[in-house]
Amino acid sequence: MSASLQTSSGSPNAALEIYIEGLKNAHALEKQATQLINRQLERLENYPQVEQLLRRHLGETEQQIARLDEMLASFGEEHSTLKDLATSLTGNLAALGHTVMGDEILKNHFANHAFENFEIASYMSLITLAELSQRGGHVAALKTTLEEERRTAQALHDMTGELTRMYVSRTAAGAKADR
Ligand SMILES: [Fe+2]
């Protein structure tokens, strides 16, 4: 911990420490998201609407990482380099997205849906933490990211029925349906 965080005023500093940890966790989460998305893009063959959504969100995720880098850099050198250790929960979500199964397209869809909603809650929490730790200057960037995650989660949510119908009809026709 840096000396600047060890002042005597109590709770604002607690919020700040939690906030900085939260930013680091979000950074690790987004790095993991890029891996998950890239892995799916390499394998997708028959579901162009998924490919299009993932490609768009990959670009957004790279911007989100840049935003987090900038926020972390504002806390100084010791916070600007990250090990990006994944938490066990997101590790489990990621593992879901790495599973090769006959219904891979559906399992990945469920994992993507879970992942985006996990991110939504993370950024909502970060916005509150930014406010509590007097880092109001970060809120606009965090809200931009939150909006991107919400749009992506909604698009995933909305394509669930169509994706399922496509999977069934390709399977029924004896066509390659898994990815
Ligand atoms: Fe995301």
The domain locations on the chain are 11-172
Average pLDDT along the chain: 88
Phi-psi region of 128 (alpha: psi -120 to 50; beta: other; left: phi over 0): alpha
Dist. CA 67 → ligand 1 center (Å): 13
Cα Rg for the chain, rounded, in angstroms?
Answer: 19
- Hey, what CATH topology would domain 11-172 get? Ferritin (1.20.1260)
Please compute the mean of the pLDDT values over residues 38-45 and round it to a whole number: 93
Name the pLDDT band for 102 (thresholds 50, 70, 90).
confident
Dist. CA 100 → ligand 1 center (Å): 22
- The yes-or-no verdict on residue 1 having pLDDT over 50 is no
Dist. CA 66 → ligand 1 center (Å): 14
Dist. CA 10 → ligand 1 center (Å): 33
Q: How far is 12 from 5, CA to CA, in rounded Å?
A: 10
**Looking at residue 85, what is its pLDDT?**
56
Please compute the mean of the pLDDT values over residues 58-67 and round it to a whole number: 97
Please compute the mean of the pLDDT values over residues 106-116 and round it to a whole number: 94
What contacts 24+ positions apart, CB below 8 Å, involve 80-85?
82/24, 82/27, 82/28, 84/27, 84/28, 84/31, 84/32, 85/28
Dist. CA 28 → ligand 1 center (Å): 12
Q: Is the dihedral of CA 5, 6, 8, 10 positive or negative?
A: positive
Dist. CA 134 → ligand 1 center (Å): 26
